[in-house]
Amino acid sequence: MTRSHATESVPHQPPPIRPGRPRPPIRPGRPRPLAVLALTPLLRYAVVRHAVPTGTSRRTGCDACGTPIGLDRPWPVLGPTARCGGCTARVGPPPGTVELAAATAVVLLLTGPPTTELAAAAWWLAFAVPLCFVDLAVHRLPDRLTWPAAAGTWLLLGLAAVTGAGSEPWLRATAAGLSLAGFFALTTLLLGARGFGIGDAKLALGAGALLGWYGWATPVLGLLLAVTLSGLVALGLLVTRRARWSSHLPFGPYLVLGTLGALLLVW
Ligand SMILES: [Zn+2]
């Protein structure tokens, strides 16, 4: 310490300025929308890595030229332009889409549920957003994303229960997650390929828990929204002949949208 003058205070002089950083203005803890851009390479990485057909190992490089894709070198391949740094081929979801989805999710989260419940919803969305893109690309909802999504959501809701909300909403959330997942699994058993997939059931575990926290009507509403939305889109695709009755349409994105829609109505 060389600032010896700072230790001798003379009367009638303003107090010496303390060394160190100036104090930043204190703002209440709200994530800034731009901060989401720091997260989107992580989301893109999850999509690129897991959007591979069943039985294939995870993607580690560009399909066209083999340039490795990793979080140590996220630009430009995991940036909004989604172009390989080696050969400029497009990699992963279309430019801007993941960024837009993530920004929308952050804006929705800012509508203001209590902090711990917000953490649970944010956790679930951090997995649900890449899962939507993986499902659209390869019609799969990989376990490596659905299980941690459900487990983290359930634990964070448990934290909300312990820190003030009490056990009742948590028990209901647990039951709702299991019920919604059970419903999806049952359609797979009864209808086979025409039912929902087992991946949808695993995604529904977390969705049902998030929604069940707010009452039994919320998961029902979320499911109705998801089914209605997917039905309308399927109808549109049939009418415009871009899909046939036998086409398999991914349901994950609608489940995520239905969950968000129902959450917005209760927040
Ligand atoms: Zn390449």
Ligand 1 mean position to 98 CA, how many Å?
A: 20
> CA–CA separation, 117 vs 54, rounded Å?
34
Distance between CA atoms of residues 101 and 31, nearest Å: 16
pLDDT range class, residue 113, cuts 50, 70, 90: confident
Residue 61 CA to ligand 1 center (angstroms) comes to 8
pLDDT band of 115, cuts 50, 70, 90: confident
- How far apart CA 206 and CA 149 sit, in angstroms, is 6
- Provide the pLDDT for residue 138: 93
The predicted model gives 143-168 an average pLDDT of: 96
Distance CA(94)–CA(131), nearest Å, equals 15
CA of 83 to the centre of ligand 1 (A): 8
Cα–Cα distance for residue pair 126/202, rounded to 1 Å: 15
For residue 214, the CA-to-ligand 1 centroid distance in Å is 46
Average pLDDT, the chain: 87
Distance CA 148, CA 163 (A): 22
Query: Can you tell me the mean pLDDT for 133-148?
Result: 95
To the nearest 10 degrees (0 to 180), the angle between helices 115-138 and 198-212 is 160
Residue 5 has pLDDT above 80, yes or no: no
Distance of CA 164 to CAs 112, 127, 170, Å?
17, 26, 11
Mind spelling out the 3-state secondary structure of the chain? CCCHHHHCCCCCCCCCCCCCCCCCCCCCCCCCHHHHHHHHHHHHHHHHHHCCCCCCCCCCECCCCCCECCCCCCCCCCCCCCECCCCCCECCCCCCHHHHHHHHHHHHHCCCCCHHHHHHHHHHHHHHHHHHHHHHHHCCCCHHHHHHHHHHHHHHHHHHHHHHHCHHHHHHHHHHHHHHHHHHHHHHHHHHHHCCCHHHHHHHHHHHHHHHCCCCHHHHHHHHHHHHHHHHHHHHHHHCCCCCCCCCCCCHHHHHHHHHHHHHHHC
Q: 70-108, pLDDT tens digit by residue?
A: 999 898 999 999 999 999 999 999 999 999 999 888 888
CA of 91 to the centre of ligand 1 (A): 8
What percentage of the chain reaches a pLDDT higher than 70? Answer: 87
Q: Which residues pair with 83 in a beta bridge?
A: 90
| Residue 10 pLDDT greater than 60, yes or no | no
Q: What pLDDT shows up at residue 34?
A: 66
Residue 50 CA to ligand 1 center (angstroms) comes to 18
pLDDT at residue 33 in the model: 57
CA of 90 to the centre of ligand 1 (A): 8
Q: What's the predicted TM-score (pTM) here?
A: 0.83
Q: How far is the CA of 80 from the centre of ligand 1 (A)?
A: 16
pLDDT reading at 240 higher than 80: yes
Distance 217 CA to ligand 1 centre (A): 48
pLDDT at position 30, please?
Answer: 52
Q: Pick 34 or 202 by higher pLDDT.
A: 202
Give residue 64 CA to ligand 1 midpoint distance, Å: 5
Sole residue written with tokens 């998961």 = 219
Query: Where do we find the tokens 């448990």?
Result: 158
What is residue 49's predicted lDDT score, i.e. its pLDDT?
95
Question: Ligand 1 mean position to 68 CA, how many Å?
Answer: 9
Q: Is a pLDDT exceeding 80 seen at residue 232?
A: yes
Q: What is the mean pLDDT of residues 234-258?
A: 89
Q: Where are the domains of the chain?
A: 33-110, 114-267
Locus of tokens 């294939």: 56
Considering only CA atoms, give the Rg of the chain. Answer: 23
Range with top average pLDDT, 11-15, 18-22, 113-117, 224-228: 224-228
Identity at 82, one-letter amino acid code: A
Say how many Å lie between the CA of residue 57 and the centre of ligand 1: 18
Determine the pLDDT at residue 82: 94
Residue 107: per-residue pLDDT: 84
What integer is the mean pLDDT of 16-35? 51
81: CA distance to ligand 1 center in Å?
A: 13
Give the Å distance between the CA of 136 and the centre of ligand 1: 22
Q: How far is the CA of 62 from the centre of ligand 1 (A)?
A: 5
Cis peptide before 250 (omega within 30 of 0): no
pLDDT range class, residue 243, cuts 50, 70, 90: confident
142 or 55, greater pLDDT: 142
Question: With 80 as the cut, is the pLDDT of residue 64 above it?
Answer: yes
Mean pLDDT computed over 250-260: 95
